[in-house]
Structure 1
């Protein structure tokens, strides 16, 4: 494949706009990436346009979990759960090093759900997955499984398994598969309107946010996978609308609250499920579930009340750790695109998480859905688009991630090789050249290699510094003060690869640090 960077983007954009496309996908999150991937493997001429950056919205700010949705079993949503657990197993098998098993422990303290009820739910959950996946531990054993867990009223705990991922890297990996099969993807392209001819969508007009220039794109079909933005472009019919719900998280250093398992429990304030779990060498506390009333075009931010809510949850389970605001490395907040029927509003946590398709001639809008089931959602969208494109659609269950020959990388440990293979897939040979040049040195206490930063700057279409530090890597979350202390060395390595002069770098750095303080730090 040719280089995928800002220079390529600027040179290719006029030519890409002049093509006749079978399908244009709007939205660069996991659902849009999945649609592009499934279209590209079938030989469709397909292009993805993202208004900000790939995974910029919900898909870099989720709870990082690839799961079947145990809560959906309790709500009777068995079809959603069955599909989710089976897709979870596929991803675990296809993308080791990117999608990894994670064990969960639910402590039982005498309230609902007790061991018997919870075990019954897990029995259904396991049956849908086709394997037994849980076990009850009495108090004596639980002490060894989860040291430091509050013992007031504690009877025991139930352990079960789901999976965890780096959601932004998952999106980049799926896009890499799509591009390897002929798809194209551009960030920084804001779709202004759909172009309609003779009563059907025939393309769209988009603005290049880097240059300000507008382009008209023609396509036989347009798929809108814009998440919480779904109501902006489609022709609205009926009462169903997107209800943006915010989920916020806290991140603290792993040494401050070391965990081998995710701890799952109900928050006493509202009965919502809350998790404390290990991720990328750190510890996450999440999540909330609130109506997001702020504008969607700015990064969502955690509120002071949400910080208090999550710290209270952590203190109830781990009181001796005395976790407080001063321990936090960073925060993040994402907006879930939940479909609401427009009636008197339920509590946010009571809204169903089912997806819907809205169709008009030439255009299909995907609303709602889950990260775990992105492949199934993509196939459903393509089936709806096939009539407009004039193609048949069959699915034989081909893997999302094609097998590839990994280079030997002798300088790395087996765990590092697995991690890089999972996150970079078929791009690993290109990254390997940077590993050979820079070695296996990690950035600070993270698992991220300096070589990964170099490769991202050179070949992963970074347009702005927050793309590099918040999504291509997670250094802005995992290092103190958004990686401020590492910025001089990051600049020395990446500025030449990005092609930025000194004035551009200084502007990008100032914008990034202001963004981090506003949306990824504690609220003032």
Structure 2
């Protein structure tokens, strides 16, 4: 765009997942003139594929190496619950988001390792989960061996959370034509100017600070800025899926020794069917399996961890799977970081950000604001984080407005239960 230096903004956030949206909201509330740029649709990739559990650290007490992570995330269930119930306090208004469940369940199989793992989890927590009597257990766990625990970890519909935050800032969120829809003028990672392209539209921006919050896209962005992409790591998952109209909604973790054997969360597809996402060790080990093998493994796991669920008796039951990468800051051994992570450069003029876990988005936003405080400052902000008085030129209106990405199960092919069972080894 010859002759144009670009419109000045305090903060340009690249990436419209839970990390980028929470950072945008926090920046606006702090009085900064911030915009968000998304190359695809909001939540594309990792965010919309998340299971939506706001972990409080319970699953991290199963292994000693994860105890630091348990401490970092301990306050998140209460924080998210407050944002869902009230407009008072810090953070976005999530009253319009759907809380799928106020709690999750934890149970074990009947192996010795599983019994020891459950005892370790109960002993290590600062706030212990509640042991439920057999009469008060959910129907699927009535015959579970040993204790069944109710854990105060809410589960959110991920798309509804993204929409609730995005709807609060309609004049600040812009879509471009893929990663190449952003052209940088930079030196050593310090961005002086960006040109945003969407169809025939071009808009020049001169940001004081840029935040890279694009998940796996951070690697490509850093490469284009002449920076080391090896500071990032990916830990892949191969998630299992099942769906049926009569499948009950359920959210919980089955513990086996020092690992979460399977994590189950529920959602709905566009036809109104219940969909279970199957994570945990099943998804981690499933990385080495193809789709057919993962469907068969998921069938065997559910039979093992939920013997009270008659899979063969559920009409129209179908199976599928999807792959997703967890994008994180690299650790020495390639393990999950303990907390949300940021790498600031040039006194905060460029920040690379990873939330590590969906639940840690508030901590990530706080770290980003702290890293950019010296150069972007803080103003009075607008009333309760409103974006109604955005000082942006009319040219921004020519850029597309990204929608919310579809759930991964809407874009997968499905296999009938009969075909999965027929292919499973006896």
Matches within 5 A, 1:410-429: none
- For residues 439-482 of structure 1, what are the alpha-carbon distances to aligned partners after superposition, in whole Å with 9 as ceiling and x for unaligned? xxxxxxxxxxxxxxxxxxxxxx776xxx57x63xx6x94xxxx5
Which residue in the other structure is 1:185 paired with?
A: 174
Aligned alpha-carbon RMSD (Å): 4.0
Which residue in the other structure is 2:301 paired with?
A: 313
CA separation in 1, counterparts of 2:109 and 2:227? 46
Alpha carbons of 1:462 and 1:238: their partners in 2 closer, same or farther (altered >3 Å)? closer
Query: TM-score of the superposition, structure 2-length normalised?
Result: 0.73
CA separation in 2, counterparts of 1:225 and 1:338? 11
Q: Is the 8 A contact 1:330 1:521 kept in 2?
A: yes
Q: Is the 8 A contact 1:190 1:206 kept in 2?
A: no
Gaps of at least 5 residues in structure 1 are 1-15, 294-300, 403-425, 427-460, 483-515
Which residue in the other structure is 1:298 paired with?
A: none
Query: TM-score of the superposition, structure 1-length normalised?
Result: 0.61
SS of equivalent to 2:296: helix
Q: Is the 8 A contact 2:237 2:286 kept in 1?
A: yes
- For residues 235-260 of structure 1, what are the alpha-carbon distances to aligned partners after superposition, in whole Å with 9 as ceiling and x for unaligned? 545963222422413031251x325x
- For residues 460-512 of structure 1, what are the alpha-carbon distances to aligned partners after superposition, in whole Å with 9 as ceiling and x for unaligned? x776xxx57x63xx6x94xxxx5xxxxxxxxxxxxxxxxxxxxxxxxxxxxxx
Q: Is the 8 A contact 2:339 2:360 kept in 1?
A: no
- For residues 51-75 of structure 1, what are the alpha-carbon distances to aligned partners after superposition, in whole Å with 9 as ceiling and x for unaligned? 1001111111111222223222332
Q: Is the 8 A contact 2:254 2:263 kept in 1?
A: yes
Give the Å deviation of 1:146: 3.8
Which residue in the other structure is 1:240 paired with?
A: 231
CA separation in 1, counterparts of 2:328 and 2:256? 22
Give the Å deviation of 1:284: 0.9
Alpha carbons of 1:335 and 1:388: their partners in 2 closer, same or farther (altered >3 Å)? same
CA separation in 1, counterparts of 2:338 and 2:315? 32
Alpha carbons of 1:187 and 1:334: their partners in 2 closer, same or farther (altered >3 Å)? farther
Which residue in the other structure is 1:297 paired with?
A: none
- For residues 396-429 of structure 1, what are the alpha-carbon distances to aligned partners after superposition, in whole Å with 9 as ceiling and x for unaligned? xx988x9xxxxxxxxxxxxxxxxxxxxxxx9xxx
CA separation in 1, counterparts of 2:306 and 2:43? 33
| 2:375 is equivalent to residue 388 of structure 1 | yes
Give the Å deviation of 1:88: 3.4
Which residue in the other structure is 2:345 paired with?
A: 360
SS of equivalent to 1:217: strand
Q: Is the 8 A contact 1:27 1:49 kept in 2?
A: yes
Give the Å deviation of 1:378: 1.0
Higher helix share: 1
* Among candidates 131, 136, 158, match of residue 135 of structure 1: 131
Alpha carbons of 1:106 and 1:22: their partners in 2 closer, same or farther (altered >3 Å)? same
Which residue in the other structure is 2:139 paired with?
A: 147
| 2:338 is equivalent to residue 337 of structure 1 | no
Gaps of at least 5 residues in structure 2 are 87-93, 389-399, 420-426
Alpha carbons of 1:365 and 1:522: their partners in 2 closer, same or farther (altered >3 Å)? farther
